[in-house]
């Protein structure tokens, strides 16, 4: 459904920001080591020559030379007030790309020639709105790229910065969507970016990319790709899913704006063992947690309601928990699927992944504050399936109980 955006809609922008973006940005600003590095980056930014380089190597957007682009910029600018003048450029690059940077007195938005050729002026409004979203939410104040490349930033902080960058892209996409006012337009812009093709007259809905997303999710889980956390941007199909979740919540007047679903999607690109994956039980290990959790949860005959809620929240492509529970022997099915999750992994489970799986399964078994003998036995069985001894589970249960007491 398309709506005509107005500046009044933009008042919702503050509340539309993805909560994960806000939380991670706060974490970055609280970190003393990153604050120190940020100060150095701020000094360098005051000496930035980006505008000079754009004026030298790109075409400044003006109605006479690039009327369509100038029109799109003007329309978005009227809807998204970033508090400073805006100057737009088009630079020569066949990729569909864009960036925003903050100068001393203005924001500079640069669009690649590939973006201008592939996207319609209306679709460009999504891209320009996205870039202004970065400006609006002060994303430009954190020199994440420079910090990540610095030798003085720890791996843990590099992971934090990358997580935030991906979360910031989600927020910026939301502004892009509100700026163009049409989820299909936004989706089409992202699909065309994926294909790098103009596809004249084509329009795409998020449902058109759903099966590609499911396949991608399955591949990511099988690959166990632990380097996904290094990406500064979420994968485009993930962004489409996140935008769809946002828009659905937005239209329904839902205050969460699709944030819980978005967290689930983004967890797939997090490094294993990070807080966000541990807390949500999401990420590339979700298949182990779902089937392992079901196997342990059925240890005493039936799945408790709180266990069911926990398992239902896990995102595993092509799996319906109700169907699994209705199977002739759900326990055998769960164990077989747990084994299949291990077999289909193309890379060996790392120690931190093994730890994450078992700790979360132990925590799952303890939902009723009690470890029954059948639960202990099944946890031990799963540990053996993962190549570990029963003693590992005993120690993890002991540590869990000590942690609970503390």
Partner 1 sequence: MSEETLDTKAIVERFAEVATLAGIKGEIDEDGDFAAGFNLKDDRSQMVFARPINTPGGPGVCMFSHAAVYKKGMFGGISKEVALELLKRNEDLSFARYGVREFEDRYLVVASLDALIETLDPAELENSVWAVAYAADCWEEKSGQADEF
d(CA 142, CA 39): 10
Q: Smallest distance, Å, CB 22 to partner 1?
A: 27
Strand-pair partners of 87? 108
Beta carbons of 184 and 204 less than 8 angstroms apart? yes
Applying CB under 8 A, does 392 fall inside the site for partner 1? yes
- State in angstroms the smallest separation of the CB of 80 from partner 1: 42
Distance CA 274, CA 137 (A): 25
State yes or no: residue 231 binds partner 1 (CB under 8 A).
Answer: no
* Buried residues in 154-176 as b, exposed as e (16+ CB within 10 A): eeebbbbbbbbbbbbbbbbbbbb
C-beta closer to partner 1: residue 131 or 353: 353
Interface positions, 184-203, toward partner 1 (CB under 8 A): none
Q: Which is nearer to partner 1, 168 or 296 (CB)?
A: 296
Matching residue, tokens 């000094």: 43
The backbone torsions φ and ψ at residue 85, rounded to the nearest 5 degrees and listed phi first, read -60, 160
Kindly tell me which residue out of 7, 154, 256, 312 binds partner 1, with binding defined by CB under 8 A: 154
List beta partners, residue 88.
Answer: 109
Q: Does 53 bind partner 1 (CB under 8 A)?
A: no
Asked if 388 interacts with partner 1 (CB under 8 A), we say yes
- Considering the complex, state which of residue 67 and residue 387 has its C-beta at the smaller distance from partner 1: 387
Is position 363 an interface residue for partner 1 (rule: CB under 8 A)? no
Tell me which residues in 342-361 interact with partner 1 (CB under 8 A): 348, 350-352, 354-355, 358
Task: List, in sequence order, every residue forming a beta bridge with 112; answer none if it has no partner.
Answer: 91
399 near partner 1 (CB under 8 A): yes
From the list 63, 145, 196, 387, which residue makes contact with partner 1 (rule: CB under 8 A)? Answer: 387
- Interaction of residue 92 with partner 1, rule CB under 8 A: no
The nearest distance, CB 397 to partner 1, in angstroms, is 11
Q: Least Å distance between CB 391 and partner 1?
A: 3
| CA dist., res. 316 & res. 220, Å (int) | 11
Min dist CB 151 to partner 1, Å, is 9
Which x/- pattern over 291-330 shows residues binding partner 1 (rule: CB under 8 A)?
Answer: ----------------------------------------
* Binding segment toward partner 1, per CB under 8 A, in 168-176, 178-186, 306-314, 394-402: 394-402
- Decide if residue 389 touches partner 1 (CB under 8 A): yes
**Rounded to an integer, what distance in angstroms lies between the CA atom of residue 187 and that of residue 198?**
14
Q: What is the DSSP string of 82-136?
A: -SS-EEEEEE--SS--EEEEE-SSSEEEEEEHHHHHHS-HHHHHHHHHHHHHHHH
> Minimal distance in Å, beta carbon 219 to partner 1?
24
Query: What whole-number distance in Å separates Cα of residue 116 and Cα of residue 99?
Result: 13
Strands in 58-60's sheet, in edge-to-edge order, are 58-60, 86-91, 107-112, 98-102
Q: How many residues bind partner 1 (CB under 8 A)?
A: 19
Q: If binding is defined by CB under 8 A, does position 403 make contact with partner 1? A: no
Q: Site map for partner 1, 100-139, x if CB under 8 A?
A: ----------------------------------------
DSSP letters, 235-264, are: -HHHHHHHHHHHHHHHHTT-TTTTHHHHHH
Tokens read off for 108: 């500079």
Of 25 and 383, which has the nearer Cβ to partner 1?
383
Neighbours of 376 (CB within 10 A): 18
Q: How far is the CB of 390 from partner 1 (least distance, A)?
A: 8
Which positions lie near partner 1, rule CB under 8 A? 154, 156, 348, 350-352, 354-355, 358, 387-392, 394-396, 399
């Amino acid at each position: 459904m398309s709506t005509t955006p107005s500046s009044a809609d933009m008042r919702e922008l503050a509340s539309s920001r993805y909560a994960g973006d806000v939380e991670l940005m706060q974490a970055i600003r609280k970190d003393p080591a990153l604050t120190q590095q940020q100060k150095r980056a701020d000094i360098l930014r005051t000496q930035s020559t980006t505008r000079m380089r754009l004026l030298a190597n790109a075409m400044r957007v003006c109605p006479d030379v690039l009327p369509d682009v100038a029109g799109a910029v003007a329309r978005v600018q009227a809807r998204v007030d970033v508090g400073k003048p805006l100057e737009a450029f088009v630079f020569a690059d066949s990729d569909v790309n864009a960036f925003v940077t903050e100068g001393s007195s203005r924001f500079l938005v640069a669009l690649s020639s590939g973006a201008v050729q592939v996207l319609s002026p209306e679709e460009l409004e999504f891209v320009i709105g996205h870039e202004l979203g970065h400006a609006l939410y002060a994303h430009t104040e954190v020199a994440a790229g420079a910090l990540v490349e610095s030798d003085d930033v720890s791996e843990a902080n590099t992971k934090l910065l990358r997580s935030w960058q991906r979360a910031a892209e989600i927020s910026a996409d939301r502004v892009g969507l509100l700026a163009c006012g049409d989820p299909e337009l936004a989706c089409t812009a992202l699909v065309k970016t994926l294909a790098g093709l103009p596809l004249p007259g084509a329009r795409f809905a998020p449902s058109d990319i759903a099966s590609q997303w499911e396949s991608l999710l399955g591949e990511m889980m099988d690959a166990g790709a632990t380097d996904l956390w290094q990406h500064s941007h979420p994968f485009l199909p993930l962004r489409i899913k996140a935008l769809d979740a946002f828009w659905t919540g937005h239209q329904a007047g839902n205050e969460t704006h699709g944030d819980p679903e978005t967290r689930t999607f983004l967890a797939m690109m997090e490094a294993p063992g990070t807080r966000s994956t541990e807390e949500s039980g999401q990420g590339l290990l979700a298949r182990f947690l779902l089937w392992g959790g079901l196997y342990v949860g059925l240890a005493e005959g039936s799945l408790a309601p709180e266990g069911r809620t926990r398992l239902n929240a896990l995102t595993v492509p092509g799996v319906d928990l109700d169907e699994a529970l209705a199977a002739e022997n759900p326990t055998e099915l769960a164990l077989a699927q747990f084994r299949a999750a291990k077999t289909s992994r193309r890379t060996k489970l790392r120690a931190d992944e093994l730890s994450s799986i078992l700790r979360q399964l132990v925590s799952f078994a303890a939902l009723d504050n009690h470890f029954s003998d059948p639960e202990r036995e099944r946890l031990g069985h799963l540990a053996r399936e993962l190549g570990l001894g029963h003693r590992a589970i005993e120690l993890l249960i002991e540590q869990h109980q000590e942690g609970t007491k503390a």
